[in-house]
């Protein structure tokens, strides 16, 4: 039986993992939220590892994810996404625990127009992206057995995300104005959770940095349009495009992630974003 600690387990990815834990027979999960285990608290982390000997894997879902607020509270963002990740990497290295850490497409500046590979040089353009990149770098310096998985535009049935926002607005609004200024890939957090569990189940040892998102690309407008189509509300709601939606944080104009490395290394089937969205909505 493998023992897996999930940090930040009440966030959307953590909750997707909780759903799957019921069907992951040979894994025993320790789900902890920010109150039970604050990853900024190094001593608490060490004690937790001592008390729960031996933890085979950590899935680090804990993160400061508010991209807008990170511009104003950059210190808090760095504390969780970088310094606390360093704590997690140190404790994993000490107790020979494999770390599965989630990072982001926002480590890139968006100046490319073809999918970003793991070899592309990151150049984040907002505080959130900068803090997540530093977290990655700490892991790479400290640890040997890690999977850093960059993903993009996560949505699910849990928490506050773009999918949930459009579903909610479709019940009240007759008109929606959505940006076309960014191109990326919506990713079903349930698919990412399945992929993480497969790595553990298969004892995969191909440690390193990977890009995981659903297949295909879209603007936020395309994403909203597809949600409305699936809900059968496309004709009821007027959808307007804008390329000038004001935000505090600058976002990469293009952040599609290449899946070449991940599909070449793992046997996982990755779904097209529209198909996965339909699966969730139905």
Ligand X SMILES: NC(=O)c1ccc[n+]([C@@H]2O[C@H](COP(=O)([O-])OP(=O)(O)OC[C@H]3O[C@@H](n4cnc5c(N)ncnc54)[C@H](OP(=O)(O)O)[C@@H]3O)[C@@H](O)[C@H]2O)c1
Answer yes or no whether residue 185 interacts with ligand X by CB under 6 A: no
Close Cβ partners of 12 (under 8 Å, ≥ 6 residues apart) = 154, 155, 156, 158, 159, 161, 189
Question: Minimum Å distance from CB 232 to ligand X?
Answer: 26
Task: Tell me the closest approach of the beta carbon of residue 190 to ligand X, in angstroms.
Answer: 11
Phi and psi torsions of 13, nearest 5°: -65, -40
Residue ranges in 92-121 that form contacts with ligand X under rule CB under 6 A: 102, 104
Figure out which of the listed residues 55, 80, 92, 99 binds ligand X, where binding follows CB under 6 A: 80
- From the CB of residue 254, how many other CB atoms can be counted at a distance below 10 Å? 18
Q: Is 110 left (phi over 0), alpha (psi -120 to 50) or beta?
A: left
Residue 24 in contact with ligand X, rule: CB under 6 A? no
Q: Beta-carbon neighbour count of residue 182 at 10 Å?
A: 19
Cis peptide before 54 (omega within 30 of 0): yes
Among 21, 65, 143, 217, binds ligand X (CB under 6 A): 65
Question: Within positions 126 to 145, which residues make up the interface with ligand X, using CB under 6 A?
Answer: 132
- Give yes or no for residue 77 binding ligand X (CB under 6 A): no
How far apart are alpha carbons 158 and 149 in whole angstroms?
Answer: 20
Active site residue 128: yes
Instruction: Choose the binding region for ligand X from 61-69, 88-96, 117-125, 232-240 (rule: CB under 6 A).
Output: 61-69
**Which residue in 17, 108, 11 sits closest to 64, CA to CA?**
11
Return the structure tokens found at 156: 């699910």
Based on CB atoms, which residue is closest to ligand X, 61 or 262? 61
Contact string 228-257 vs ligand X (x = CB under 6 A): ------------------------------
10 binds ligand X (CB under 6 A): yes
Nearest to 220 by CA among 268, 126, 152: 152
Residue 208 or 236: which CB sits closer to ligand X? 208
Closest separation between CB of residue 84 and ligand X, Å? 5
Q: Which of 83, 90, 134, 159 binds ligand X (CB under 6 A)?
A: 159
DSSP H helices, the chain, are 12-21, 42-51, 67-72, 74-78, 84-94, 127-142, 162-169, 189-201, 220-231, 260-265, 273-281
Q: Which of 13, 99, 125, 256 is close enough to bind ligand X by CB under 6 A?
A: 13
Shortest gap between Cβ of 260 and ligand X (angstroms)? 19
∠ at Cα 92 (87, 98), nearest 5°? 135
Point out the catalytic residue in the list 128, 138, 163, 210. 128
Minimum CB separation of residue 34 from ligand X in Å reads 3
Q: Is 153 in the site for ligand X (CB under 6 A)?
A: yes
Smallest gap from Cβ 85 to ligand X, in A, equals: 9
For residue 98, give the H/E element and its range: strand 98-104
According to DSSP, the β-strands at 98-104 and 57-60 are parallel
Taking CB positions, which residue lies at the least distance from ligand X?
A: 11
Active site residues: 128
Where on the chain is the footprint of ligand X (CB under 6 A)? 7-8, 10-13, 33-34, 38-40, 61-65, 80, 84, 102, 104, 132, 151-154, 159
């Amino acid at each position: 039986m493998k023992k897996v600690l999930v940090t930040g387990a009440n966030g959307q990815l953590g909750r997707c993992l909780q759903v799957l834990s019921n069907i992951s027979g040979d894994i025993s999960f320790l789900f902890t939220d920010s109150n039970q285990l604050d990853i900024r608290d190094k001593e608490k982390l060490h004690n937790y590892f001592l008390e729960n000997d031996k933890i085979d894997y950590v899935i680090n879902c804990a993160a400061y994810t508010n991209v807008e607020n990170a511009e104003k509270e950059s210190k808090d963002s760095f504390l969780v996404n970088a310094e606390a990740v360093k704590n997690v990497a140190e404790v994993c290295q000490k107790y020979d625990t494999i770390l599965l850490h989630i990072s982001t497409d926002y480590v890139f500046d968006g100046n490319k127009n073809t999918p970003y590979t793991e070899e592309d040089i990151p150049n984040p353009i907002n505080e959130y992206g900068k803090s997540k990149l530093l977290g990655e770098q700490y892991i790479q310096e400290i640890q040997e057995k890690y999977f850093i998985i960059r993903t993009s535009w996560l949505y699910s049935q849990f928490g506050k995300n773009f999918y949930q926002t459009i579903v909610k607005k479709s019940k009240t609004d007759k008109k929606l104005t959505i940006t076309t200024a960014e191109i990326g890939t919506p990713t079903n957090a349930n698919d990412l959770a399945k992929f993480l569990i497969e790595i553990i189940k298969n004892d995969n040892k191909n440690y390193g940095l990977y890009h995981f998102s659903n297949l295909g690309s879209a603007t936020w407008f395309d994403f909203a349009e597809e949600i409305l189509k699936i809900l059968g509300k496309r004709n009821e709601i007027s959808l307007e495009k804008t390329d000038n939606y004001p935000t505090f944080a600058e976002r990469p104009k293009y952040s599609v992630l290449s899946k070449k490395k991940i599909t070449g290394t793992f046997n996982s089937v990755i779904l097209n974003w529209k198909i996965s969205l339909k699966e969730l909505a139905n």
